[in-house]
Amino acid sequence: MTIRLTAAQALVRWLSVQMTEDGERFIEGVWAIFGHGNVAGLGEALHGVRDVLPTWRGHNEQTMAHSAIAYAKAMKRRRAMAVTTSIGPGALNLVTAAALAHVNRLPVLLLPGDVFANRAPDPVLQQVEDFGDGTVSANDAFRPVSRYFDRITRPEQLLTALPRALRVMTDPAECGPVTLAFCQDVQAEAFDWPERFFAPRVWRIRRPEPDAAELAAAVAAIRAARAPVIVAGGGVIHSGAESALADFATRHGIPVVETQAGKSALAHDHPLNFGPVGVTGAACANAVAETADLVIGLGTRFQDFTTGSWALFKAPGRTILSINAQPYDSFKHGAQSLVSDVKVALERIGAALGGQRFAAPAAGLKAAWAAEVAKVTAAPEAGNALPTDMQVIGAVQRTSRPETVIMGAAGTMPGELHKLWNAAAGGYHMEYGFSCMGYEIAGALGIKMARPGADVVCMLGDGSYMMANSELATAAMMGLAFTVVVTDNRGYGCINRLQKATGGAGFNNLLDDSYHVTPSAIDFAAHARSMGAHSAKVNDISGLEAELQAAKGRAGPSVIVIDTDPGPSTQAGGHWWDVAVPEVSPRADVAAARAAYEKRMKDRQLAD
């Protein structure tokens, strides 16, 4: 038996019956900005299933994809969303979001429109022509940032392309963005589809079992260790292994340190949670990491912020044991590999270790760090000085609740929140794999869609706000409530500090150091209000705390703006980060920074 449908109609009907083990749709809905290349085909098809598969209208292609990605992250990759755009600029606006999902191993289905497969009207509006290859379109830019890429030039290609797409999106090792570039004439072309193609299908997220030999070697490495440490990455959360990690660490006395993606896998007050590690790490976590003879990576990519550019783990003879569902990640930097689901690996290793326990780290490490955090996040004394970003974080912390989810992505906030935020279990959402400015507001929207009962607080600087703020209007239209805290330090304060730390002069980062004829005077509160958000500009930390309390329970998004000092950052904790300094410069500050850089490079070589 067959049913005659257009290719676009078949695609959305198929998506509407792809289910999770919990009986929910895997693709929760579709974000869409219609235009030339998708409005006639996919637009008509989505209208036909609008009561089954919802369509949401965004205001920017990149940010609506960010919302979809944040939703998938908040759902621990158990559910996802799709995004469709026109061809040309609409499609290319998705490329940054595709890279973000690729780096963070998060599922999203991208459906950009494409040129005519039949080439009759060639070249069409917005077509990018390759002078030497007639098969190339703008959508080829997605190839390096997609886990699976396909161009649909015939309707029946969907019979194989769609199952391949969801296989990748639901595979714990291959998980990431899928791009199906959908030729616009093909979207409208009819085909006789087998009815069985539209039978509901359940997609199960596999839990890869460890290889017996690799498992035995991992157990032997842990048994032989003197001072192991666990580096908890995002894979712990994706695996749903939070409780297994808590049990494993407690039973064996192994301290846990957190990456940006792994933060909140354990509640901050768990006795063996020594906090954030690496460049933006706590002093207690980095002290444990520096002396560890066995570094056990759980679902981490071991990016440079985690490893201190591979200068942090420097105990003589130290070994890396990397437990990851993705072999690519588990073999990095000569690590001893255990390819496995994290939860399964912890259970198998724990059973083999029995009652073996390790000596606790030095007493007082956590307490000393807590004192440093309290010092920099405390409310300032009365006066006219601008508050620091750390004091703003303290205000948000004091008004937080168990259901608060703090989130951010780029600039100052990732480093300060990683160091300073005391996260409840599951209360931290940071996009720091790609550190993409503009993810924040759209991401907060996606988190709220995934976790409607959460108290979502988005923290970002004025620079990120200017990059992408239009999904505030979407949140207002959808009646979704979250709080946005904008720290206005009048420029890119984080990069300004890095510029000076590497010997550079303050230049083109803060607004006052940039070329301008008229001084900037942006009214962020008025701008947010114009898009339908409740907004307020506060003068001090006490005013911020009052507005944060008032925002709780309010319908729709709330935006709170506070001026901050762009200079200070948390000096306690942290670690060196490899940022190359020019070898030659007429500036004495650069020469001094280069000398310090070369010394750190030698220190790293000695550690290796």
| Cβ(594)–Cβ(582) below 8 Å | yes
* pLDDT above 80: residue 608: no
The average confidence (pLDDT) of the chain is 96
6: left (phi over 0), alpha (psi -120 to 50) or beta: beta
State how far the Cα of 370 lies from the Cα of 372, in Å rounded to an integer: 5
Start-to-end Cα distance in the chain:
65
Query: What would you report as the CA-atom Rg of the chain, rounded to the nearest whole angstrom?
Result: 25
* pLDDT per residue as tens digits for the range 353-364: 999 999 989 889
* pLDDT per residue as tens digits for the range 139-190: 999 999 999 999 999 999 999 999 999 999 999 999 999 999 999 999 999 9
Single-letter amino acid, residue 179: T
DSSP type of residue 555:
S
* pLDDT above 70: residue 384: no
Angle at 447 between CA 441 and CA 451, to 5 degrees: 145
State how far the Cα of 239 lies from the Cα of 343, in Å rounded to an integer: 6
Residue 36: count other Cβ atoms within 10 Å of its Cβ. 15
* pLDDT per residue as tens digits for the range 472-490: 999 999 999 999 999 999 9
Residue 214 tokens read as 């690799």
Enter the pTM of the model: 0.97
Residue 284 tokens read as 């207690």
Angle at 365 between CA 457 and CA 248, to 5 degrees: 75
Q: Which domains does the chain have, with CATH numbers?
A: 2-202 (3.40.50.970), 212-363 (3.40.50.1220), 373-563 (3.40.50.970)
pLDDT, residue 553, reads: 86
pLDDT, residue 607, reads: 66
* Residue with tokens 């503009």, as numbered in its chain: 438
Single-letter amino acid, residue 297: G
Phi, psi (degrees; rounded to nearest 5) at 406:
-90, 140
| Cβ(572)–Cβ(275) below 8 Å | no
